[in-house]
């Protein structure tokens, strides 16, 4: 046995034992990376003055990690709760029952909109105030910049827009972006989140002012559009998550597939009991964590035996 292997392993009677040095070196790289992420987060202007760090998850039970963090951040108190592996689950339950426990968040993206004014023409067709394809082109009107502190439960954006005469519809298409200052929604960093529309009757088509409000509430944005003349308002909720989440949810929510399923026209087999059971179980589509839960779309629990490998196999078969 070479000397390099002897430094990490040794035999004790009929057992192969691993030296502590080997275990420490195995964890060095993830610990260094974790400290780098923490150092980057603490150095952010919005994190100035951090005095307490709460560590949760299974890795937080490592004594090596705790000692390393104490050495790297001597001015910050390290707190590890009892049963740190369950802390995330307990926190999610508390948040589900009382979302107000989260006082503020940091915006992960820059959020903006494209205002669209639709007019009714004599020729019998409609045109838009910006481009014929508002989902693809248009100036990015920035509302919230990435890194901004968002107070939960309070409107973060109150923006007023002039409504031109004879506008039949006023719509705002909401976008997110990885960039700090995107200029156009066609930029590669921009992704569509949702839209809100207010319709006007013939007697309401005078010039006026509309007000757009955005209230951030955890993973969603509550958007309110108000007409300051008629006092009417419209409300909608959009997801504030990552690009892939929003794009994939939007594709499903606006697809023909969703319509035929919800209208019961897709032709799913009749619900029937599973083996050794007498309860009727309906057929449904299997999705991943990206999608919303529905009666016809279920998601496997990530910690059970339905792994990504199984999901990939099902996706391959369905395609």
From first to last of its 319 residues, the chain has per-residue pLDDT tens of 345 777 777 888 888 888 888 878 888 888 888 888 898 888 877 778 889 999 988 888 888 888 889 999 999 999 998 888 888 888 878 877 787 788 888 888 999 998 888 766 543 333 343 333 334 457 899 999 998 888 877 788 899 999 888 888 898 989 999 899 999 888 888 888 888 999 888 767 778 899 999 998 767 888 999 999 889 999 988 877 655 555 556 566 667 777 788 788 888 888 888 888 888 888 888 776 556 666 777 766 544 444 444 444 444 334 3
Question: 110-120 and 167-177 as β-strands: parallel, antiparallel, unpaired?
Answer: antiparallel
pLDDT of residue 45: 79
pLDDT of residue 245: 54
Cα angle, residue 284 at apex, residues 278 and 286 outer, rounded to 5°: 125
Query: CA dihedral in degrees (142, 143, 148, 150; nearest 10)?
Result: -160
Helices (H), the chain: 3-6, 20-42, 63-72, 84-97, 243-253, 256-262, 308-318
> How many Å separate Cα 313 from the centre of its chain?
25
C-alpha 86/C-alpha 76 separation (Å) is 23
Structure tokens at 147: 């890194």
Structure tokens at 264: 């019961």
C-alpha 141/C-alpha 146 separation (Å) is 14
Strand partners, 150: 105
C-alpha 114/C-alpha 105 separation (Å) is 25
- List the domains of the chain with CATH numbers: 3-101 (no CATH), 104-249 (2.60.34.10), 264-318 (no CATH)
Q: Which H or E run contains 190?
A: strand 190-199
The Cα diameter of the chain in Å comes to 95
Question: Reduced to 3 states, what is the DSSP secondary structure of residue 275?
Answer: coil
pLDDT of residue 169: 86
> How many Å separate Cα 286 from the centre of its chain?
20
Inter-axis angle of helices 20-42 and 63-72, to 10 degrees? 40
Q: What's the pTM value of the predicted model, to 2 decimals? A: 0.60
Q: Which H or E run contains 172?
A: strand 167-177
C-alpha 135/C-alpha 123 separation (Å) is 24
Structure tokens at 177: 């972006």
């Amino acid at each position: 046995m070479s000397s390099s292997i002897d430094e990490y392993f040794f035999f004790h009677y009929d057992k192969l034992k691993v030296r502590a040095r080997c275990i420490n070196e195995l964890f060095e790289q993830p610990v260094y990376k974790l400290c780098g992420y923490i150092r980057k987060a603490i150095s952010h202007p919005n994190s100035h003055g951090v005095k307490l760090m709460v560590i949760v998850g299974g890795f937080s039970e490592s004594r090596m990690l705790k000692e390393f963090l104490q050495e790297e951040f001597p001015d910050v108190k390290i707190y590890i709760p009892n049963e740190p592996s369950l802390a995330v689950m307990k926190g999610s339950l508390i948040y589900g029952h009382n979302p107000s426990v989260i006082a503020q968040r940091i915006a992960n993206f820059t959020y903006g909109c494209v205002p669209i004014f639709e007019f009714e023409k004599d020729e019998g067709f409609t045109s838009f105030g910006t481009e014929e394809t508002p989902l693809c082109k248009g100036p990015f009107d920035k509302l919230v910049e990435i890194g901004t502190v968002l107070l939960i439960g309070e409107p973060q954006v109150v923006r007023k827009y002039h409504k031109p005469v004879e506008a039949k519809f006023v719509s705002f298409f909401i976008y997110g972006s990885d960039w700090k200052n995107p200029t156009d929604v066609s930029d590669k960093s921009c992704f569509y989140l949702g839209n809100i529309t207010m319709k006007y009757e013939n007697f309401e088509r005078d010039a006026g002012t509309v007000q757009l409000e955005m209230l951030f509430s955890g993973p969603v944005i509550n958007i309110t559009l108000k007409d300051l003349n008629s006092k009417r308002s419209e409300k909608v909720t959009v997801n504030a998550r990552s690009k892939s989440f929003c794009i994939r949810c939007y594709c499903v929510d606006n697809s023909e597939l969703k319509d035929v399923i919800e209208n019961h026209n897709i032709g799913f087999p009749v619900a029937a009991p599973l083996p050794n059971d007498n309860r009727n179980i309906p057929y449904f589509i299997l999705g991943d964590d990206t999608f919303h839960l529905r009666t016809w779309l279920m998601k496997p629990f990530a910690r059970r035996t339905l792994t990504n490998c199984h999901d990939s196999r099902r996706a391959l078969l369905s395609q």
